[in-house]
Amino acid sequence: MKLLIDLFVTFAKIGAVTFGGGYAMLPILQREIVENKKWGTDEELADYYAIGQCTPGVIAVNVGTFIGRKVAGIPGGVVATLGVVFPSVVIITLLAGVIQAYASLEWVAHAFAGVRVCVCVLIFNAVIKLFSKSIIDAWTLGLYVLILAGSVFLKVSPVIFVVIAGLAGIILKVMVKR
């Protein structure tokens, strides 16, 4: 029971301070889940993000569910999911009636612009950490460059890129073993 409460509180804290969507959650997840709680590794977190992007639903919720299930089975997945969405539900419920009245104020628009810049920096920092753990040899660097180019120049679903990268990973590992 203590572990389930810890999962809920940890993911509620993450959900309460994550502004900007699932990608903005990455640096906070990395610090809390990988560094502080030791519930997963950077590599696992990257995997959960990739799978979370390919599955229906919000990335932050999907990742919370994956980590919770890993740590405490199905009850852990449910509790982590509830934890990550709880702050948003409370905050949105409280702000729903008020936000319309203040959204047109110039200072509110400027504040949101500043928060968006901050979220970009947080995402960039998380990408650098994941990059250094994921690009481990010439093959993974080549795959990175190909997927990056494809995502920039092609209008293809991220699911396709994840499937291609997964298949490439399998093929490359089989080739290396020979």
Dihedral angle computed from the Cα positions of residues 94, 98, 103 and 109, in that order, rounded to the nearest 10 degrees: -50
- Residue pair 28/17 in contact by the 8 Å Cβ criterion: yes
- For the chain, the domains span 2-134, 135-178
Cα 80–chain centre separation? 14
The pTM assigned to this predicted structure is 0.61
Q: Which two tokens stand for residue 121?
A: 């920096």
Distance, CA of 151 to CA of 153 (rounded, Å)? 6
pLDDT tens over the chain, length 178 residues: 999 999 999 999 988 877 666 677 778 888 899 999 999 998 898 888 888 877 777 788 888 899 999 999 999 999 999 999 999 888 888 877 777 777 788 887 788 788 889 888 888 888 888 888 888 888 889 999 999 999 999 998 888 998 899 899 888 888 777 6
Q: Which two tokens stand for residue 171?
A: 């093929």
